[in-house]
Amino acid sequence: MSPRNSLWKRYRRWQGIILVAASLVATVWLGATNQLILYIHPRYVVFTVIMAVIGLVLVVASFIDRPDHDHGETPSALKTALSVVATVLTLGVAVALVVVPPATLTTATADQRVINSVNVGSSSATVASSSGASSGASAKFTVLDWSSLLRQTSASSFYAGKAVDVVGFITGDKDDPANLFYLSRFVITCCAVDAQPVGVPVYLANWKSRFKSNDWVRITGQFVTNPSRSSQQTIALIPLKTSKVKQPSDPYLY
């Protein structure tokens, strides 16, 4: 056997194991650092980490007994180069998952998927269950709850006396960009791929003088008839207090 063929055999023998191990280690690391929730729903984290650990055990076991029965032909230079490039790229992705902090979905994604275009959150608030809610109870509603209620009714009387205290990121409104924005969150059913943006319209005149798109803010206030003349939204949140906050450790809703 030529030296080149022997080297190729050795490389191919370890390539698969190294790639699988790198991916599994990255998964376990993300789970241990509580960053896996930025990719998948929390309900799947434990299962995913357990399966990754089992996979690592099997990878280690494969190191113990490795039969030598590959008698293939010497690969071409092109095939060797493509295989090496694929390995480097895969390892690069695995390392990036560990080294580079995962980025959350932003306004750009919200614009692409259209806010409140899909009904999500079957467990979110309903008009029937929230009609008699006290001011203290309504203050615990999330952006998902309020966006669900706004899709169900636009009667200003329903929102009268209901306190609002919500956190989300700013997504500009296209109809009245100077005075209206959406306080948005992403809702995840399975993983970040299926994330859907939800939001509540906020009327704050000349808001761009204080904030910018993607800023995370906390708003307390009440829903009233929308003062904007160009907006298509009937009801809007009028802030009593608006403050910039850090992005939550778990930015998604479920």
**Domain boundary at 52, 82, 99, which?**
99
Q: What SS3 state is found at 197? A: strand
State both tokens at 184: 């948005």
Q: 245 or 117, which is more confident?
A: 245
CA distance 225 to 166: 19
Q: What SS3 state is found at 91? A: helix
Domain count along the chain? 2
Do 188 and 121 belong together in one domain? yes
Torsion sign over Cα 187, 22, 82, 62: negative
Do 15 and 127 belong together in one domain? no
At CA 153, angle to CA 118 and CA 200, rounded to 5? 55
Q: Is residue 253 part of a domain?
A: no
CA distance 164 to 147: 12
Q: Is residue 95 part of a domain?
A: yes
Above 80 in pLDDT, residue 223? yes
Confidence grade of residue 237 (pLDDT, cut at 50, 70, 90):
very high
Nearest to 176 by CA among 122, 228, 245: 228
The string over 50-59, giving b where at least 16 C-beta atoms fall within 10 Å of a residue's C-beta and e elsewhere, is eebeebbeeb
CATH code at position 219: 2.40.50
What residues form DSSP beta bridges with 199? 184
Domain that holds residue 57: 3-99
Q: Is residue 38 part of a domain?
A: yes
Res 28: pLDDT: 85
Do 124 and 46 belong together in one domain? no
Do 54 and 133 belong together in one domain? no
Confidence grade of residue 118 (pLDDT, cut at 50, 70, 90):
low
C-beta neighbour count of 137 within 10 angstroms: 13
Do 193 and 161 belong together in one domain? yes
Do 132 and 231 belong together in one domain? yes
Q: What percent of the chain has pLDDT over 90?
A: 38
Q: 110 or 235, which is more confident?
A: 235
pLDDT single digits (tens) 41-85 = 778 888 888 888 888 887 777 666 555 555 555 556 666 666 666
What residues form DSSP beta bridges with 253? 187
Measured over all CA atoms, what is the biggest interatomic distance in the chain, rounded to whole angstroms?
A: 85
Q: 19 or 99, which is more confident?
A: 19
pLDDT single digits (tens) 95-113 = 655 555 566 677 777 776 6
- How high does pLDDT run on average in the chain? 81
Q: Is residue 228 part of a domain?
A: yes
For residue 135, CA distances in Å to 130, 141, 250 come to 11, 10, 26
Res 188: pLDDT: 87
Q: Is residue 132 part of a domain?
A: yes
Of 25-29, 102-106, 144-148, highest mean pLDDT: 144-148
> Alpha helices, DSSP H only, in 33-44?
none
Q: 114 or 179, which is more confident?
A: 179
**Would you say 31 and 51 are in contact if contact means Cβ atoms under 8 Å apart?**
no
Confidence grade of residue 37 (pLDDT, cut at 50, 70, 90):
confident
Nearest to 182 by CA among 217, 153, 227: 217
Above 90 in pLDDT, residue 189? no
pTM for the full predicted model = 0.70
Lowest mean pLDDT across 75-89, 168-182, 224-238: 75-89
Q: 25 or 91, which is more confident?
A: 25
Res 225: pLDDT: 96
